[in-house]
């Protein structure tokens, strides 16, 4: 398996795992009965629970284009060292983003987000060069 695909799978697992902390946090704050319901008029979370939820939503938004780029590079036979490096930068940046976002560290969160974009840009570079 290529590094690109391994990082894509790792990113998908990270995305799934990011739902766990805030789900548990909401359940502890609001109770199982509310969480098992339809969640209509469900207020956003506060503190680390809300930040964790937003980090997960941000990962979902960024995983889609990353996956498209990695799969396009793989299928087209253009996956190379650049795409592997980009995929690694994306994964580790997104992991850092989730941690620092949940912890509430704004400037590091922004740097980690930019790292994820840079990772995508490197995979795109491998596709167009």
> Could you tell me the CA-to-CA distances from 5 to 8, 32, 91, 115 in Å, in that order?
5, 37, 11, 19
Whole-model pTM: value is 0.93
Cβ atoms of residues 126 and 85 within 8 Å: no
**What tokens does 16 get?**
């799934």
Q: Hey, CA dihedral for 68, 58, 14, 101, is it positive or negative?
A: positive
| The pLDDT value given to residue 83 | 98
| The pLDDT value given to residue 33 | 80
Domains of the chain: 3-128 (1.20.120.550)
| The pLDDT value given to residue 34 | 80
72 vs 31, residue with greater confidence: 72
The C-alpha R_g of the chain, in whole angstroms, comes to 17
Q: Would you say residue 36 has pLDDT above 90?
A: no
């Amino acid at each position: 398996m290529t590094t690109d695909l391994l990082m894509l799978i790792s990113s998908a697992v990270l995305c799934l795992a990011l739902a766990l902390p805030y789900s548990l946090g909401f359940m502890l704050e609001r109770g199982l009965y509310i969480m098992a319901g339809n969640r209509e008029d469900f207020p956003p979370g506060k503190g680390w629970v809300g930040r964790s939820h937003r980090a997960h939503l941000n990962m979902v938004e960024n995983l889609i284009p990353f996956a498209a780029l990695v799969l396009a590079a793989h299928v087209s036979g253009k996956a190379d060292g650049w795409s592997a490096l980009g995929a690694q930068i994306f994964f580790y940046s997104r992991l850092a983003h989730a941690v620092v976002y949940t912890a509430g560290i704004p400037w590091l969160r922004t740097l980690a987000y930019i790292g994820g974009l840079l990772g995508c840009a490197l995979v795109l570079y491998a596709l167009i060069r």
